């Protein structure tokens, strides 16, 4: 069993690679180091959970992986491109093309309909209105919200809002889905539904990086990376 | 991102916060409409005063004699001889004073001007009914008179004064003509110059109006007239003054230009205040929408995209406000001209300038907050609550 798992791992190519990443912040004149030399690799099609208590630096790590922030030192590659040396506009393109975000508090734009929210990444890709609409509708169909596409986020339940957010993450068909406590703002039942959807996406071949503090949720991943005090303490490989 | 898409996005966000948009627009609307209204009033005043000065007569020169010592005036014959100055078209010497005019028990104190037939042309003063003073009236000191509209109403009420008689300081005059409505002559009575000399018991002429043949000749005629006057008065040049209508116009227009600038300046300040309002709202809106900026950036909006969105928003807001401001300003102008006696004259220039300025303000005051928004790091923007 374990040998097949290893051969499977070696067949996959690394999609994300962090090498000795440090992140320091100036906080009230004091320098705080939240990441202290993190190195990790995530392979194509993998489902990885990053867990750690609050203040462990897992959110900072997620911001790094999601290209929302740049490391103070160390290097970071996505798909063979060195992201840590990129300019702001290039980072925006990477976020647009390679990463789909699923946030704890959904982060939908309240003035826009579900469909328009899902279209947003495609707007910044410069797609034509027609192609955009088709692709966004397709993504909404995948999360089962096609008939609600003209609703505003405020007219949707929490679970539905998170599904719209997932559809937005899927719309641009990015190789990486980055989920930050995706069930954190949901009740147990809808949380389960959302997790099921993430599993489905994983089975369809998406690479999934899940950040959570909940060990139960983390246990559903293939691999769990534990972060304590800005460093990787240990990595568990789960049995499927 | 395409520009058309950026426009759509800006439009949507303008519509999604109507109160805020309206409040912002109000500043610019008031600013632009004030500029248009006040400058229009200023320009209206300029053209009204200019028209009045020109209405005094075209290519007009007026000679007024204050006199010194023995000689304090010129004689009628001397005045008429100004006709021979090269470039002079006509000369209208006058004597003037105040008399008591009486018709039955109605009785007014009114200014009387003794004139000649040429006065009609030189001062462009016409009668609306009856006839003007003729040369023969002057030659024979006829007791005939022209009456201004207000004096006519004072003395005769609504009945036609032409053909009627009135007493001027006890002398009986027949009214032969009713003068046209003109602010400078509504309250006067005009009689033949020779009759006025008797009535007012003053032989000397102290005011002479002259008309140059063309507008270009007025300054030359003025110089020649001064030369002739200096011969009469033996070089005491402060005993007479010759005023050129052009000079009067210059003086008047310098006053009204100052007025226009002052009014425009006040209005310009309100436009700037409106612009600061836009900047203020844009800054608040950027802060309010920090999370939105974070979300947009996390799905791939570049700095340029955010900048464009906010910039277009402020341009659209100020452009629309500018247009509404133009309409309000023009409407206000019409209203002012109807309610008050002010003349209002809007010019295309000022409309274009104030519109251009309002859009410029939109861009100028939009850039600063837009730039602030675009420079936010996505991670900081997302964390903002």
Return left, alpha or beta for B69; rule: phi > 0 is left, psi -120 to 50 is alpha, else beta. Answer: left
Q: How many helices (H) and strands (E) does chain B have?
A: 13, 10
Query: What pLDDT, on the 0 to 100 scale, is given for residue A6?
Result: 46
Give CA–CA dist A37/B256, Å, rounded: 76
- Tally of residues, chain B: 385
Query: A69 and B303 in contact by Cβ < 8 A?
Result: no
Q: Are B111 and B161 members of one domain?
A: yes
- Search chain A and give the residue with CA nearest B301: A124
CA angle (A38, A43, A49) in 5-degree steps: 60
- In the DSSP assignment, the letter for residue B174 is E
Query: B377 and A69 in contact by Cβ < 8 A?
Result: yes
Which residue, chain included where needed, has tokens 């990086």?
A209
pLDDT by 10-residue block (mean), chain A, 240 residues: 46 85 85 90 93 88 91 92 90 93 90 92 91 93 90 92 93 92 88 90 92 89 92 84
Domains and CATH numbers, chain A: 45-67+85-237 (3.40.50.300)
Q: Is residue B301 part of a domain?
A: yes
- Structural domain boundaries enclosing B112: 68-235
Q: Is residue B368 part of a domain?
A: yes
Residues of B in contact with A92 (CB under 8 A): 297, 300-303
The H or E element that residue A85 is part of is none
Residues of A in contact with B295 (CB under 8 A): 107-109, 120
Q: Is residue B246 part of a domain?
A: no
Contact between residue B65 and residue B181 where contact means Cβ atoms under 8 Å apart? no
Q: Cβ contacts of residue A99 below 8 Å, gap of 6+?
A: A66, A67, A174, A176, A177, A178
Query: What pLDDT, on the 0 to 100 scale, is given for residue A19?
Result: 93
Q: Are B343 and B198 members of one domain?
A: no
Q: Are B290 and B362 members of one domain?
A: yes
Coil/strand/helix, residue A156: coil
- E strands in A52-206: 73-78, 81-82, 99-102, 176-180
Q: Is residue B309 part of a domain?
A: yes
* For residue B46, pLDDT beyond 70: yes
Ranges A86-100, B32-46, B71-85, most confident: A86-100
- In the DSSP assignment, the letter for residue A220 is T
Q: Are B228 and B90 members of one domain?
A: yes
* Distance to chain A for B43, nearest Cα, Å: 47
Q: Is residue B120 part of a domain?
A: yes
Q: Are B91 and B216 members of one domain?
A: yes
Beta-carbon neighbour count of residue A154 at 10 Å? 9
* For residue B277, pLDDT beyond 80: no
Q: Are B133 and B169 members of one domain?
A: yes
Please name the residue ranges forming H helices in B211-244: 218-233
Interface list for A 9-48 with B (CB within 8 A): none
Q: Are B318 and B351 members of one domain?
A: yes
Q: What is the pTM of this model?
A: 0.70
Q: Are B260 and B341 members of one domain?
A: yes
Give CA–CA dist B346/B41, Å, rounded: 8
Q: How far is CA B191 from CA A94, A120, B116, B187, in A?
A: 97, 88, 8, 14
The H or E element that residue A67 is part of is none
- DSSP per-residue letters across B175-191: EEEEEPP-TTTTTEEEE
Q: Which of B202, B235, B268 is the last residue of a domain?
A: B235
Dihedral, CA atoms, B176, B182, B188, B190, nearest 10 degrees?
Answer: -40
Query: A124 and B294 in contact by Cβ < 8 A?
Result: no
Give CA–CA dist A236/A230, Å, rounded: 18
Average pLDDT on B94-109 reads 90
What's the structural domain count of chain B? 2
Greatest alpha-carbon span in chain A: 53
**ipTM of the shown complex:** 0.90
Of residues B45 and B195, the one with the higher pLDDT is B195
Residue B294 sits at the chain A interface (C-beta within 8 Å): yes
Give CA–CA dist A76/A73, Å, rounded: 10
What's chain B's average pLDDT?
A: 85
Q: Could you tell me the sign of the dihedral formed by the alpha carbons of B47, B52, B56, B57, in that order? A: positive
Residues of A in contact with B300 (CB under 8 A): 92-93, 95-97, 121, 124-125, 172
Q: Which of B208, B235, B262 is the last residue of a domain?
A: B235
Q: Are B75 and B222 members of one domain?
A: yes
Q: Are B314 and B360 members of one domain?
A: yes
Q: Is residue B169 part of a domain?
A: yes
Q: Is residue B333 part of a domain?
A: yes
pLDDT digits 0-9 by tens, B344-379: 888 888 889 888 888 887 778 778 877 887 888 888
Residues of B in contact with A95 (CB under 8 A): 297-300, 378
b/e A20-52 (16+ beta carbons within 10 angstroms → b): ebebeeeeeeeeeebbeebebebbbbbbbbbbb
pLDDT digits 0-9 by tens, B212-257: 888 788 888 888 888 888 888 875 667 888 888 777 778 887 888 8
Beta-carbon neighbour count of residue A84 at 10 Å? 19
Residue A97 sits at the chain B interface (C-beta within 8 Å): yes
Residues of B in contact with A112 (CB under 8 A): 12
Cα B69 to the center of its chain, rounded Å: 41
Contact between residue A85 and residue A77 where contact means Cβ atoms under 8 Å apart? no
Q: Are B296 and B348 members of one domain?
A: yes
Contact between residue B354 and residue B325 where contact means Cβ atoms under 8 Å apart? yes
* For residue B117, pLDDT beyond 70: yes
Query: What pLDDT, on the 0 to 100 scale, is given for residue B193?
Result: 92
Pair of tokens at residue B314: 């402020």
Which residue, chain included where needed, has tokens 């009067």?
B248
Contact between residue B29 and residue B324 where contact means Cβ atoms under 8 Å apart? yes
Q: Is residue B281 part of a domain?
A: yes
Q: Which of B209, B235, B261 is the last residue of a domain?
A: B235
Least Cα distance to B119 among B52, B193, B50 occurs for B193
Ranges B44-48, B131-135, B381-385, most confident: B131-135
Q: Are B226 and B274 members of one domain?
A: no
Give CA–CA dist A24/A43, Å, rounded: 27
What count of CB pairs under 8 Å joins A to B? 69
Beta-carbon neighbour count of residue B338 at 10 Å? 9
Give CA–CA dist B3/B10, Å, rounded: 10
């Amino acid at each position: 069993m374990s040998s097949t798992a290893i051969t499977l791992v070696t067949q996959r190519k690394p999609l994300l690679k962090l090498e000795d990443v440090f992140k320091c912040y100036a906080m009230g004149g004091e320098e705080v180091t939240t990441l202290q030399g993190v190195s990790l690799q995530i392979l194509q099609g993998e489902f990885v959970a990053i867990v750690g208590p609050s203040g462990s630096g897992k959110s900072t790590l997620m911001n790094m992986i999601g290209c929302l922030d740049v490391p103070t030192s160390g290097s970071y590659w996505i798909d063979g491109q060195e992201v840590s040396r990129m300019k702001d506009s290039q980072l925006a393109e990477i976020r647009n093309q390679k990463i789909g975000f699923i946030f704890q508090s959904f982060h939908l734009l309240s003035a826009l309909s579900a469909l328009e929210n899902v279209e947003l990444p495609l707007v910044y890709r410069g797609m034509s209105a027609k192609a955009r609409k088709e692709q966004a509708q397709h993504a909404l169909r995948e999360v089962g919200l096609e008939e609600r596409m003209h609703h505003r986020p405020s007219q949707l339940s929490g679970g539905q809002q998170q599904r719209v957010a997932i559809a937005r993450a899927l719309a641009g068909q990015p190789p990486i889905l980055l989920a930050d406590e995706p069930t954190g703002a949901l009740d147990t039942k809808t949380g389960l539904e959302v997790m099921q959807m993430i599993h489905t996406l994983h089975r369809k071949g998406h690479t999934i990086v899940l950040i959570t503090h909940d060990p139960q949720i983390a246990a559903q991943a293939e691999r769990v990376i534990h972060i304590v005090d800005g460093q990787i303490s240990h990595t568990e490989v789960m049995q499927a | 991102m395409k520009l058309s898409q950026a426009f759509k996005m800006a439009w949507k966000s303008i519509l999604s916060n109507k109160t805020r948009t309206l409040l912002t627009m109000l500043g610019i609307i008031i600013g632009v409409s004030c500029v248009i209204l006040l400058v229009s009033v200023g320009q209206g005043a300029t053209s009204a005063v200019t028209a009045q000065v020109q209405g005094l007569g075209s290519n007009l020169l007026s000679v007024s004699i204050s006199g010194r010592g023995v000689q304090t005036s010129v004689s009628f014959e001397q005045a008429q001889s100004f006709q021979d100055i090269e470039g002079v078209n006509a000369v209208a010497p006058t004597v003037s004073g105040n008399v008591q005019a009486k018709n039955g028990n109605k009785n007014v104190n009114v200014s009387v001007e003794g004139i000649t037939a040429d006065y009609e042309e030189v001062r462009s003063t016409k009668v609306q009914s009856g006839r003007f003073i003729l040369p023969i009236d002057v030659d024979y000191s006829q007791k005939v008179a022209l009456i201004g509209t207000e004096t006519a109403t004072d003395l005769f009420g609504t009945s036609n004064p032409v053909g009627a008689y009135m007493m001027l300081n006890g002398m009986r005059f027949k009214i032969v003509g009713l003068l046209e409505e003109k602010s400078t002559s509504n309250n006067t009575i005009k009689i033949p110059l020779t009759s006025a000399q008797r009535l007012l018991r003053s032989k000397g002429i102290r005011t002479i109006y002259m008309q140059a043949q063309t507008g270009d000749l007025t300054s030359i005629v003025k110089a020649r007239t001064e030369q002739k006057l200096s011969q009469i008065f033996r070089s005491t040049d402060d005993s007479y003054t010759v005023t050129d209508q052009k000079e009067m116009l210059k003086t008047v227009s310098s006053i009204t230009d100052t007025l226009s600038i002052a009014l425009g300046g006040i209005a310009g300040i309100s436009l700037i205040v409106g612009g600061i309002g836009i900047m203020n709202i844009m800054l608040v809106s950027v802060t309010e929408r920090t999370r939105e900026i974070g979300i947009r950036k996390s799905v791939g909006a570049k700095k340029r995209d955010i900048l464009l969105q906010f910039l277009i928003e402020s341009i659209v807001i100020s452009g629309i406000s500018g247009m509404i401001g133009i309409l309000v300003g023009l409407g206000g102008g019409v209203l002012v001209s109807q309610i008050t006696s002010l003349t209002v004259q809007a010019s295309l220039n000022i409309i274009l300038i104030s519109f251009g300025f309002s859009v410029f303000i939109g861009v100028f005051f939009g850039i600063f907050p837009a730039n602030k928004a675009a420079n936010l790091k996505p991670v900081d923007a997302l964390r903002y609550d």
